[in-house]
Structure 1
Amino acid sequence: MPGSRKTRADYYIGLMSGTSGDGVDAVCVRFDEGAPRVVLAAHSYHPYPEPLRQRLLALMVPGENEIERMGVLEEQLAEIFAAASSEVHRRAGLAATDIAAIGSHGQTIRHRPRGPHAFTVQIGNPARVAERTGIATVADFRRRDMAAGGQGAPLVPAFHQWLFGHATRARAIVNIGGIANITIIPAAATSAATQGFDTGPGNALLDGWARRHTGQPQDTDGRLAACGQVYGALLGLLKDDPYFAAAPPKSTGREHFTSEWLDERLRRLGRDLDAADVQATLVALTADTITEALAPLAPEEVYLCGGGTANPVLVAAIAERLAIPVQTTARLGLDPQLVEPTAFAWLAREAKAGRPGNLPSVTGARHPVVLGALYPA
């Protein structure tokens, strides 16, 4: 808001295009260290055009001619990211010169965090974003952590710790995007380290199954799942994947939990199930793997964020499995849909200040590192 800005270049833009692959969330914010707190100037959401989204989802699964397909999508996404950035600062009544930097996560199309040649790929050319907007852009946040021996994900726990930490209570922040991840923030009065990792599928399998059987991009309000019943034999086959039993640090992506991954387990089941029963079982998979990951970490409070908070059936399933109240981050002052884009605005600020943005206790990196590469305006 023009009247509230303190100095030139006091604001940051954050862009998050997550593993759901449905669009980009943009925020324009500044950060108050005294509280700490986030001052939100404006936010917006830009859905991907459906033909682009279908090509993007196809690129997330290994296939043919990937370099050519990636190159085209890289530039198309950059144009969307640039337009989202320009719109959100104008919506806030701010000029490009009022923005210190854009933090762009980019669109993850492949994440292979294990093995001797671990790698990760996010697209959405930040050079084009900087050129189109006239605003310095920080991007490529994951690879420096991986170079230091880390998983490169999840990266938002450092921001969770900064904003949501409590003096005397251990808190869990559960982000439910295409992939779900948890952050456990110990009480500040203790010497324990913040922990976090990807628990497995969040919305990715739910969205894919709903799209196949309803023609809609997601199971709006959990309506399909609400009509079904959990099928225990299928749930057992799904939970038998070795990822769930692996010890952290760990991270994963769509290239692991694909529609083909689900179809293969349905074939092993050897019988046809009603589409609603499969959807209900996928809700149980997400809820089980989140709450089973939380159980040994014993948080005193649980707060949800991400697109999954819009699914009341999923939220209820998580709450039923926990003995403590479940709320969203709105209770802590930040809209659950805006936590991740705000985290990347914050990580851009940390990068510009030369401060580390990773938590080795989360990613497994050998040491803290400054995350991201700067593309000047």
Structure 2
Amino acid sequence: MAGTYCIGLMSGTSTDAVDGVLADLSAPSIQLLAQASLPLPPALRDELLALNTPGADELHRAAMAANALADCQAAVVQSLLAQAGLSARQVQVLGTHGQTVRHAPENGYTVQINAPARLAERCGIATVADFRSRDVAAGGQGAPLVPAFHAAYFGTDARRAVLNLGGIANLTVLESPVRGFDTGPANMLMDAWAQAHLGEPFDLDGRWAARGHCQPALLASLLADPWFARVPPKSTGRDLFSLAWLHSHLDRPGPQGARCAPADVQATLLELSVRSIADALQRHAAGVQEILACGGGALNPVLMARLRDALAPVRLRTTADEGVPVQAVEALAFAWLAHAWLQGQATGLPEVTGARHATVAGCLYPA
């Protein structure tokens, strides 16, 4: 019997690559058939990061960046099809998140750079995109998007949670109804600091952070930001947690930024990720006994070791233990979300986003 073949594409807050999966969503279980990742060209990555802040000729630059991103996405799709031995005609739907450059649900909007019509044309596959806007229109945060998928794949059990360690960390509590919320930065600030001081896109295996020493005064200053004290539903991104935000703390009069070596700042940023996650778990999900980690941060042994210490006695594993590679979870979620759109299934959940009602997330661009 023919499968229900769906593709999901994700380029997250870390803005490092397009990750893609091709999966068979036929009942009774999801099967991952192919996985591919394509690093973003440096010029495109720089432009996407630059578009997070106001600048000249933004409309033209954003449109050109969207086209370039779609071309990268199309290359990933072709790789997935080749791996799985399938043709585009056999794929039911493709889901693409795009690249968030503004996220301001309090002002009634969120912006993801994307060119889904171009992608549908290039690939010959019906494409679902713009997953956040309907929830925001219903008064929600539009984020996080993946808790409905987490519950569908990993099941509902209030003792378990899924922790996505992407640019931003978000936590899904697998109770019924499922809950989810952002906890703060995971890799985003560490990546930006490494790029600024090492000229590298990220701190490989957390080695640089491991050479530094956490600075208590700086950590306390960072954790004092009012965002961390907010109760869910809540979401965030580069609009808040940017290098400018970090420098606003480093440059304040007082001990927090005085003579901080760059490696010490990196160690402090890693501890910020750990502490903000641990604090959010204690405040908002105290019944959780086991966490499944995913995202790029799950491959950082220093970050994972610190999380195990800080979260104890909560058990920390990864989604790989449940059959999903840590860097495939979000892309798989967008394959599932696109298929849910075809079924008319509501995946924008009020318990997660704070919207007035559940919504069907996304818009379809036919093949």
When normalised by structure 2's length, the TM-score is 0.96
Q: How far apart are residue 72 of structure 1 and its match?
A: 1.1
- Confirm whether residue 312 of structure 1 aligns to residue 301 of structure 2: yes
Distance (whole Å) between structure 2 residues aligned to residue 337 and residue 143 of structure 1: 25
- CA drift at 1:56: 1.1
Does 1:171 pair with 2:160? yes
Counterpart of 1:291?
278
5+ residue gaps, structure 1: 1-5, 187-191
The answer as to whether partners of 2:169 and 2:184 remain within 8 angstroms in 1 is yes
2:156 touches 2:178 (CA, 8 Å); kept in 1?
no
Instruction: Determine if the alignment matches structure 1 residue 242 to structure 2 residue 231.
Output: no
Partner Cα distance (1:308, 1:332) in 2: 17
Structure 2 CA distance, aligned partners of 1:130 and 1:240?
45
Structure 2 counterparts to residues 192-341 of structure 1, below 5 A: 192-268=176-252, 269-296=256-283, 297-298=285-286, 299-322=288-311, 323-341=313-331
2:113 equivalent in structure 1: 123
Deviations 1:62-107 (A, max 9, x none): 3333212111101111111122112211211000011001000111
* Alignment partner of 1:95 is 2:84: no
Q: Deviations over 1:268-289 (max 9, x none)?
A: 1351211111111000000011
Q: Deviations over 1:174-232 (max 9, x none)?
A: 0011111000012xxxxx42111111111110001111111111000101000011100
CA contact (8 A) 2:129 2:364 kept: yes
**RMSD value over aligned CA atoms?**
1.2
Q: For 2:123, which of 124, 133, 140 is the aligned residue?
A: 133
Indicate if the aligned counterparts of 1:140 and 1:372 stay in contact, CA closer than 8 A: yes
Q: Is the 8 A contact 1:303 1:326 kept in 2?
A: yes
Question: 1:189 maps to which residue?
Answer: none
Instruction: Tell whether the 8 Å contact from 1:14 to 1:103 is kept in structure 2 after alignment.
Output: yes
Task: Give the unaligned 5+ runs of structure 2.
Answer: none
The runs of at least 4 aligned residues of structure 1 exceeding 3 Å deviation read none
8 A Cα contact 1:24 1:45, kept in partner: yes
| Partners of 1:310 and 1:270 in 2: CA distance | 29
Work out the CA distance in 1 between the residues paired with 2:267 and 2:110: 32
Cα distance between partner residues in 1 of 2:224 and 2:257: 16
Q: Percent identity?
A: 50
Maintained 8 Å contact 1:81/1:124: no
1:20 to 8, 14, 20: 14
In structure 2, distance between residues paired with 1:32 and 1:88: 18
Report the secondary structure of 1:76's partner residue.
helix
Aligned length: 361
> Are 1:85 and 1:102, in contact at CA under 8 Å, matched by a contact in 2?
no
The question of 1:110 aligning with 2:102 is answered yes
- 1:145-167 CA-to-partner distances (Å, cap 9, x unmatched) read 11111110001000001111245
Residue number in structure 2 paired with 1:364: 354
